[in-house]
Amino acid sequence: MPTKPGERKHQILQTLAAMLEDPKAERITTAALAKRLDVSEAALYRHFASKAQMFEGLIEFIEQTLFGLVNKITAEEKSGLKQIEAVLTMLLGFAKKNPGMTRVLIGDALVNEDERLQARINQLHDRLEATLKQALRFALSEKEIPEGVDPTAQANLMLAFVVGRWHQFAKSGFRRDPTEYWPTQWPVIV
């Protein structure tokens, strides 16, 4: 039974993400991806015009997932401080559940790929930082955190912490749990 075009596209992205989970993986080629899927390279190009488009598909999935969860958190949680904790916990947990996607989030999988992909990841990081800054401003207005806290500087610190934990996770071959020590680190970060 032939697969539907949307299903094949999804299968290609899932396989690419799975290949990125190999901590020893070098640059992923379309030939290796096609071999893993047991299709020709031409079959890949029927669904994606380039390998860069395949990575863009992964980045789009990451963005939709992360910001869908962020929106849910900010809509349901009425405390700015709890929004921040939930967002940071979610970002660390997302990496733990999606090791291959973590390599995309830190740009590791994008080395030697089209530079617009790294620019898009940088933009995603900027959006996450802006989300944290907004939640910090809300927490300040609700007097949940001390008056002297600079939301811009604090949001930057928080995102740097998350990205650092993502790096440790990826560079350890996915052995170093990004949520390790989180319960004791959270009170220090805020």
42 within a domain of the structure (yes/no): no
The alpha carbon of 31 is separated from its chain's Cα centroid by a whole number of angstroms, namely 26
Nearest to 99 by CA among 114, 89, 109: 109
Q: pLDDT in tens for each of the 190 residues of the chain?
A: 456 657 888 899 999 999 999 867 667 889 999 999 999 999 899 889 999 999 999 999 999 999 999 999 999 999 999 999 999 999 999 999 999 999 999 998 898 888 999 999 999 999 999 999 999 999 999 999 999 999 999 999 999 999 999 999 999 999 999 999 999 999 999 8
7 within a domain of the structure (yes/no): no
28 within a domain of the structure (yes/no): no
Nearest to 92 by CA among 173, 161, 153: 161
Integer Cα distance of 49 and 22 in angstroms: 25
20 within a domain of the structure (yes/no): no
19 within a domain of the structure (yes/no): no
Instruction: Please give the pLDDT value at position 170.
Output: 94
Q: Domain containing 122 — which CATH number?
A: 1.10.357.10
38 within a domain of the structure (yes/no): no
Nearest to 52 by CA among 36, 35, 31, 30: 30
The number of domains in the chain is 1
41 within a domain of the structure (yes/no): no
Integer Cα distance of 44 and 62 in angstroms: 21
Q: Render the burial of 23-50: b for 16+ CB within 10 Å, e for the rest.
A: eeeeebebebbbeebebeeeebeebbee
77 within a domain of the structure (yes/no): yes
The amino acid sitting at 91 is L
Instruction: Please give the pLDDT value at position 1.
Output: 47
Domain residues for the domain of 143 are 52-189
